[in-house]
DNA sequence: GTCAGTGAGGTAATTTTCTTACATATTTGC
DNA sequence: GCAAATATGTAAGAAAATTACCTCACTGAC
């Protein structure tokens, strides 16, 4: 447990720190790499505070002491997740906004990695593996996610379909039956139509898996909820990181199903993949 | 310089170590995580050697001493590309394959972040901003990526369309003209049909932006190539990380276009977003 | 076979680093 | 403006790491 990323925690807590702790935080954040290599005395001097202050600072962030704190810091740096909340600004150039977007995406994935429950993944895979039919529903930006899921799951020799419009979804949900699994993908979990559709599907005996916000209205109507909290909506008014997290969850489900199918099934997947060879130019040998 | 990953170095050097160093290495490799938290005395005791032996061991691996060694170890563990093979294995459970998939995805994004050229992003944005019409083409797993791009770019009040089948793509490419921008998304860059289509489109004077492998046959027919090398195909025979990197590139292009449009444009985006409010249940206050 | 040389590995002292206990200062609430 | 609570520093002490030095085992020469 403890912290997912101590640097982010420090950055987040900046406001709530008192004067000397703030000085310590500033020094650490200005050069975290250097902080991992310095002694408590050196760091205290750089921040112009006493050594116990640094020590107290460390304990405040749930570490055993300074050495343990440095260890956490080192790991946070190595994890590749940036600690500053680097939102895109109006005056950013391609130099600055490109890495920011990669980093925001990475941060969301790292967050989701911590939050996702393997037990719930297992239950979702249990349902999928037994399904007579799998249906993926998504609207708006989640429409392509549903399509992508269909593109993965057709390989399993189960009837699969994806729907990205409300009327079709409603009709299909009404026509569903026990043994059908409907996977509903929704970032907010608050789209009225999808909540209705989930309810409708449950009424027919179908299983509903939600890839959506936990504790949302939609989540309450699902058999299994793969909850991914919405990290704050810092995007430029378009869904960005959420759909990527959703796709990764789809990957996890597909992997889970593949593994349950056992090693023989890999040959089947390979055959599908190889079927594309004809459509391609060969790989060119390096010069 | 120094070590890319100290755990790998230790594992590699195992054979060339003498008796007591070997004992130390064994203890560390058997539980690297524990090693990062223990003192030199504890580790020495566990390995049944003296403290200076452990210290000498550390220096042998180009670290300043034991604390520095622990730091390196901690980073190696956190780097996500640890000494153990993080590929999904047949006997993985949800506990183990879920984080692995997140980590593989994160690693690809971190790699792409380093490889992408802001100058090329800029040129692509230049083209998109001037486009009379934007067309996104993708096949297979890239079909949903093209759909997603359409879903982002319709906000810019430029005619946008996405096509995921070869015949439509071919017809649309043939009918394109100067001022049209065609964005072709292809993981391998070796799909024959798409290479033909790119050539066809260039012949009509259209601009072709490729989100594909650099130096591929497709890349050679593009006006601008946003190259993302294919990290090796460790996936379970399905496209996974590649399409996520492509989506992130789409996000970057959309961000670039948004920024060029200037601050007034954000109001327009906000209006689009707000238009969805009616379709949703309100956010629930926390208990 | 024994004796000097070499180096691995240990003991113990030293030094560095970290932590704790306690004293002083500063702020906050009344 | 004073008491209580909180913040910060000083200094002593404990823990950890490093260094210096010593012993022992093995090697090879005579």
For position B84, what pLDDT does the model report? 43
Assigned CATH for A6-78: 1.10.10.10
Confidence of residue A79 (pLDDT cuts 50, 70, 90): low
Give the class (CATH, top level) of B111-274. alpha beta
A47 vs A265, higher pLDDT: A47
Among residues 8-37 of chain B, which lie with CB inside 8 Å of chain A?
36-37
Q: What is the mean pLDDT of residues A23-32?
A: 85
Q: Using the CB atom, is residue A39 less than 7 Å from strand C?
A: yes
Half-sphere exposure of A59 (CA within 13 A, CB side): 7
Average pLDDT, chain B: 85
Tokens of B85: 């093979």
Confidence of residue B184 (pLDDT cuts 50, 70, 90): very high
Confidence check: pLDDT of B85 > 50:
no
- Residues A5-18 have pLDDT tens digits of 788 788 877 777 78
Distance B82 CA to C11 C1' (A): 37
Q: Which residues contact B93 (CB under 8 A, 6 or more apart)?
A: A118, A122
Confidence check: pLDDT of B233 > 60:
no
Tokens of A193: 């139509």
Interface mutation target, options B141, B247, B250, B282, chain A, most CBs of A under 10 Å: B247
Average pLDDT, chain A: 86
For position A134, what pLDDT does the model report? 97
- Residues A233-282 have pLDDT tens digits of 555 567 778 899 999 999 999 999 998 987 777 777 777 778 877 788 77
Confidence check: pLDDT of A196 > 80:
yes
Confidence of residue A206 (pLDDT cuts 50, 70, 90): very high
Within an 8 Å CB–CB cutoff, is residue B79 touching chain A?
yes
Distance from CA of B58 to the nearest CA of A (A): 15
In whole angstroms, what separates CA B96 from the centre of its chain?
20
Antiparallel, parallel or unpaired: β A207-212 and A224-227: parallel
Query: Which of A140, A118, A28 minimizes the C-alpha distance to B279?
Result: A140
For position B79, what pLDDT does the model report? 60
Confidence check: pLDDT of A173 > 50:
yes
B54 vs B209, higher pLDDT: B209
Contacts of B275 in chain A (CB under 8 A): none
Confidence of residue B1 (pLDDT cuts 50, 70, 90): very low
Written as one string, the DSSP assignment of B131-200 is -SEEEEEE-TTHHHHHHHHHHHHGGGTS-EEEE-SHHHHHHHHHT--TTEEEEEEESSS-BHHHHHHHHH
Assign domain A115-274 one CATH number from 3.40.50.2300, 3.40.30.120, 3.30.470.20, 3.40.50.10490.
3.40.50.10490
- Count residue pairs from A and B with Cβ separation < 8 A: 223
C-beta of residue A241 within 8 angstroms of C-beta of residue A108: yes
Which of these ranges, A76-80, A123-127, B231-235, has the smallest mean pLDDT?
B231-235
The fraction of chain B above a pLDDT of 70, given in percent, is 91
- Give A26: exposed, middle or buried? Use CB within 10 Å, 0-12, 13-18, 19+: middle
For position A281, what pLDDT does the model report? 78
Q: What is the mean pLDDT of residues B137-158?
A: 94
State which of A50-54, A131-135, B107-111 shows the largest mean pLDDT: A131-135
Instruction: Say how many residues make up chain A.
Output: 287
B145 vs A39, higher pLDDT: B145
Q: What is the mean pLDDT of residues B53-73?
A: 86
C-beta of residue A30 within 8 angstroms of C-beta of residue A47: no
Q: Using the CB atom, is residue B55 less than 7 Å from strand C?
A: no
Nucleotides of C under 7 A from a protein CB: 8-12, 16-22
B273 vs A86, higher pLDDT: B273
C-beta of residue A162 within 8 angstroms of C-beta of residue A146: yes
Within an 8 Å CB–CB cutoff, is residue B81 touching chain A?
no
Q: Which residues of A29-48 are buried (b: 16+ CB within 10 A; e: fewer)?
A: eeebeebbebebeebbebbe
Q: Give SS3 for A183.
A: strand
For position A3, what pLDDT does the model report? 39
Q: What is the mean pLDDT of residues A47-55?
A: 88
Separation CA B206–CA B226 (nearest Å): 17
End-to-end CA distance of chain A: 49
The fraction of chain B above a pLDDT of 90, given in percent, is 41
For position A178, what pLDDT does the model report? 95
Within an 8 Å CB–CB cutoff, is residue B188 touching chain A?
yes
Beta strands in chain A (DSSP E): 133-138, 160-163, 180-186, 207-212, 224-227
For position B256, what pLDDT does the model report? 93
For position A240, what pLDDT does the model report? 79
Domain boundaries of chain B, sorted by first residue: 6-78, 111-274
Confidence of residue A21 (pLDDT cuts 50, 70, 90): confident
B24 vs B87, higher pLDDT: B24
């Amino acid at each position: 447990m403890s912290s997912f990323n101590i640097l982010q925690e420090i950055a987040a807590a900046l406001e709530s720190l008192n004067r000397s702790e703030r000085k310590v935080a500033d020094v650490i954040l200005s050069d975290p790499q250097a902080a991992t290599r310095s002694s408590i005395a050196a760091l205290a001097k750089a921040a112009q505070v006493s050594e116990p202050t640094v020590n107290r600072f460390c304990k405040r962030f749930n570490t055993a002491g300074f050495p343990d704190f440095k260890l956490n810091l080192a790991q946070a740096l190595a994890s590749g997740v940036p600690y500053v909340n680097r939102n895109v600004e109006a005056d950013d150039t391609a130099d600055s906004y490109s890495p920011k977007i990669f980093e925001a995406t990475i941060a969301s994935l790292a967050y989701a990695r911590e939050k996702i429950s393997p037990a719930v993944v297992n239950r979702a895979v249990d349902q999928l593996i037994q399904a007579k039919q799998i249906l993926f529903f998504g609207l708006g930006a989640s429409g392509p996610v549903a399509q992508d899921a269909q593109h993965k799951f057709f390989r399993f020799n189960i009837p699969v379909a994806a729907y990205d419009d409300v009327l079709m979804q409603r009709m299909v949900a009404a026509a569903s039956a026990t043994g059908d699994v409907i996977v509903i993908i929704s970032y907010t979990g608050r789209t009225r139509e999808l909540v209705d559709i989930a309810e409708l599907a449950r009424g027919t005996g179908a299983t509903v898996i939600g890839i959506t916000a936990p504790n949302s209205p939609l989540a309450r109507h699902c058999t299994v909820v793969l909850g991914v909290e919405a990290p704050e909506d810092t995007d430029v008014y378009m869904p960005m990181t959420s759909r990527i997290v959703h796709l990764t969850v789809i990957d996890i489900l597909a992997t889970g199903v593949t593994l349950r199918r056992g090693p023989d099934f890999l040959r089947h997947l390979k055959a599908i993949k190889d079927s594309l060879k004809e459509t391609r130019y060969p790989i060119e040998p390096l010069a």
